[in-house]
Structure 1
Amino acid sequence: MNILQALFFPPEQPGGVSSMVPYIQERFNQMDYEMELFSLPKRIRNKGNEPVSFKTFDHTPYLGNTLVDKYIQTYRDYLWWTQMRIKKKYDLIHAHHPIAAMVMKRVFPDTKLILTLHSSYERELILNKKIEAGGPEHQFLTSIYRELEVTADRILTVSHAFQTYLHHYVEDAGRIKVIHNGFDEKRFRPIAHENEVTQLISVCRLVPAKGLDVLLKACARIKEKGHPFVLHLIGDGPIRKELEAMAQSLGLYDDIIFYGYMLHPEEFMPFFDVFVLPSRAEAFGSVFAEAALCQLALVGTNVGGISEQIEHGVNGLLVPVEDDEALAEALETVIIDPDYRYQLARAASDKAKKDYSLERVIAQLKKVYREEKSK
């Protein structure tokens, strides 16, 4: 079977989908499949000029809005690149981004199209204070979900929480099935170590949606109680300077290290003790599974896919969103009790190996591909 994996970002970008699909490709190519990857290079901008229309709604009232205009132009660019670069046909196309899905169906209308929705762009924009809930950008972006419903032959998503979220925007929510992200265990090598001072680590884009301001406030509370720690922040983003200034104002300058962007943080994580990320929303939260496979204790917020990965008190700790006091208490618990921390880390690793293995994803996708091919 000949399958095209249509990404938006090129492989080797940070994030669950771009870091996962190349490993899926490798495994399928070892079997009786031919699988290729396709994505839009960053250099391709403002190349496309073909008209864009949608079957389920009229987007023209939203034109003139900067975000909408950029989205439409990106659609045109992806279309231009696809038409120029792809000269063969495939048995199936598996898209991992709304624009990739819509373009592929337009170029290959007779080819079965599977779409995996990995995250909610509009929720991230709202949490990052780029758009307003209920505003024109929000209306436009949520209208895309209905368009995708009539475009794709099958829709998948990465968590039951995100599946529930999508119910508000589609007509037949029963069509949407869940396949959690999967990870190649060979990438993760837990290392036995003894850190005299508890080492906390967080890996994410430095944007408001990740709740790092809440994390810094929680760390200030921990320091006030006299518990030593070091927080390692891996990632970059638009609020880095704001977070650095906040760390200084809270007296945390000597307790936090800002590393910036790192391509393969999983090579770094096994040397630390606790992974913490108080996100305000997560469709899945791949980095929690990656941290679990590195055998770190997990502390996260009770939202979205995080709460599906963590059973509170069993394989990690969950806290309410925006609650720096509860987050400080959770972190204090794992800082002062290394045995409990190790117990949580072992349980997290066992669950991740069982539920988020790449073998499980391969088996589930193989079943989906065969079903769609046989229709």
Structure 2
Amino acid sequence: MRILHVLNHTQRLNGHVHAAVDLACAQAAQGHEVFVASGGGDFDGLLHEKGIKTFTVDHNRKVLNLLKAEVRLLQALRKSRAEVVHAHMMTSAVLAFPISKLIGVPLITTVHNEFEKSATLMGLGKRVIAVSDVVAASMRRRGVAASKLAVVLNGTIGSARSEGRSEVPAALHKPSIVFVGGLHPRKGLPDLLQAVDILYQSSPNFHLYIVGDGPFRQDYELMASQLKCAPAVTFIGPAKDPYPYMLGADIFVLPSHADPAPLVLSEAREAACAVVGTKVDGIPQLLEQGEAGILVPPKDPNALAQTLQQLIETPDQIELWKQRSQYRIDYLTIDRVARDTMQVYLSALSRQTAATTANRDQPNTTG
């Protein structure tokens, strides 16, 4: 199948970009002809390496620029002869909708950030992919027909981004607690800082490592410096590859207030961390409803501190939850994501076209 992905850019440190790049590379590896139209960025080199052609379509939201973007996207669609267009963010969906109608190619959209009001516009797709069950339910409440919706849970294991990464665990003070994520309020880092401050009163031997960057980094660093637990907290800053920190971690914590289906949980489970996450949005689904990680209430530093204390003071429990992180781990592979996504594509095509495409894409097993 010929597939054209449309997204704002291909810069690192953005979850929906990582998910789209992972999917595009997996589809190319499965034998599909894949194209990406975006404003460009860090991952273009990887896309080219995997045989994916890129088109530059600037998504800047100025009227004149958007008109130019429409023309460029139309040219990309014609040059690629794509059979489906897959948009990953609101601006991409709005740009792709009229062009896909004009050419007669189905538009697929993926809702990565349903907490944004603009996510309703992702309903423009002929099929709408939700990255978790909670996201699908939210889109139904916004008026998107259930018949258009399909859930494809995020997964990262085996992604092209992980090729060649270091498998050497970072040297961390034990027992270690690691957070990886953007430093903004939605990720709930102040709750984690308050929780470890409580924990520090009775169990001061742990160390918390905060990996990531964002607009609130200085605020959070100031907050941490004023807490009693300050000696036990280290801000690592942005890391091109945070995986070694997960490999070195005893406990991985994601204290989010809102998180549709965070890729970092797939990575933390792959690294065999004992995982603690808040019971919001797609986190329970990614942790198998508590079978593969401990779920705590959001915005509750006391409950989080109690959970961390139980783990820190009972090393056997850390080992148990490291083992439990591997429960159904195969479901989090990018190959599964690509296969499930292909079924959504086929459902959007006419019955005759879908049958022709499916037969054409079958591997040749004759000698």
Q: TM-score, normalised by structure 1?
A: 0.79
The answer to whether the 8 Å contact 1:227/1:335 transfers is no
Structure 1 equivalent of residue 51 of structure 2: none
Residue 5 (1) aligns with residue 5 (2): yes
Shift of 1:280: 0.6
Shift of 1:231: 0.8
Shift of 1:26: 2.9
Shift of 1:77: 6.8
Question: Taking structure 1 as reference, are residues 224 and 295 closer, same or farther at Cα in structure 2, changes over 3 Å only?
Answer: same
Structure 1 equivalent of residue 34 of structure 2: 35
From 55, 69, 79, the counterpart of 2:70: 79
Question: Taking structure 1 as reference, are residues 225 and 18 closer, same or farther at Cα in structure 2, changes over 3 Å only?
Answer: same
From 253, 257, 264, the counterpart of 1:276: 253
Q: Which runs of 4+ in 1 moved over 6 A?
A: 188-196
The answer to whether the 8 Å contact 1:199/1:274 transfers is yes
Structure 2 equivalent of residue 185 of structure 1: 158
Residue 112 (1) aligns with residue 106 (2): yes
Shift of 1:37: 1.7
Describe the SS at the equivalent of 1:156.
strand
Structure 2 gap segments, 5+ residues each: 42-56, 352-367
Describe the SS at the equivalent of 1:3.
strand
Deviations 1:255-300 (A, max 9, x none): 1111221222124320111110211111112211110111101111
CA distance in 2, matches of 1:252, 1:20: 35
Amino acid of the residue matched to residue 97 of structure 2?
K
Residue 306 (1) aligns with residue 283 (2): yes
The answer to whether the 8 Å contact 1:200/1:232 transfers is yes
Quote the sequence identity (%): 26
The answer to whether the 8 Å contact 1:47/1:76 transfers is no
Question: Taking structure 1 as reference, are residues 280 and 174 closer, same or farther at Cα in structure 2, changes over 3 Å only?
Answer: same
Structure 2 equivalent of residue 172 of structure 1: 145
Question: Taking structure 1 as reference, are residues 190 and 345 closer, same or farther at Cα in structure 2, changes over 3 Å only?
Answer: farther
CA distance in 2, matches of 1:81, 1:342: 53
For residues 144-223 of structure 1, the aligned pairs below 5 Å read: 145=120, 147-149=121-123, 151-185=124-158, 187=162, 197-223=174-200
Structure 2 equivalent of residue 365 of structure 1: 341
CA distance in 1, matches of 2:68, 2:111: 20
Question: Taking structure 1 as reference, are residues 190 and 247 closer, same or farther at Cα in structure 2, changes over 3 Å only?
Answer: same
Shift of 1:192: 8.0
Describe the SS at the equivalent of 2:327.
helix
CA distance in 1, matches of 2:150, 2:287: 21
Describe the SS at the equivalent of 1:236.
coil
Describe the SS at the equivalent of 2:150.
strand
Question: Taking structure 1 as reference, are residues 286 and 108 closer, same or farther at Cα in structure 2, changes over 3 Å only?
Answer: same
Question: Taking structure 1 as reference, are residues 311 and 23 closer, same or farther at Cα in structure 2, changes over 3 Å only?
Answer: closer
Shift of 1:197: 2.1
The answer to whether the 8 Å contact 1:206/1:240 transfers is yes
CA distance in 1, matches of 2:246, 2:88: 27
Question: Taking structure 1 as reference, are residues 286 and 168 closer, same or farther at Cα in structure 2, changes over 3 Å only?
Answer: same
The answer to whether the 8 Å contact 1:24/1:358 transfers is yes
For residues 17-166 of structure 1, the aligned pairs below 5 Å read: 17-41=16-40, 44=58, 48-50=62-64, 78-79=69-70, 82-83=73-74, 87-88=78-79, 89-109=81-101, 110-122=104-116, 141=118, 145=120, 147-149=121-123, 151-166=124-139
Shift of 1:248: 1.3
The answer to whether the 8 Å contact 2:269/2:275 transfers is yes
Shift of 1:250: 0.9
CA distance in 2, matches of 1:282, 1:344: 22
CA distance in 2, matches of 1:336, 1:192: 23
Q: TM-score, normalised by structure 2?
A: 0.81
CA distance in 1, matches of 2:218, 2:293: 30
Describe the SS at the equivalent of 1:167.
helix
The answer to whether the 8 Å contact 1:314/1:344 transfers is no
From 221, 233, 242, the counterpart of 1:244: 221
Describe the SS at the equivalent of 2:231.
coil
Structure 2 equivalent of residue 131 of structure 1: none
Residue 296 (1) aligns with residue 296 (2): no
Shift of 1:120: 2.4
Number of residue pairs matched? 329
Describe the SS at the equivalent of 2:141.
coil
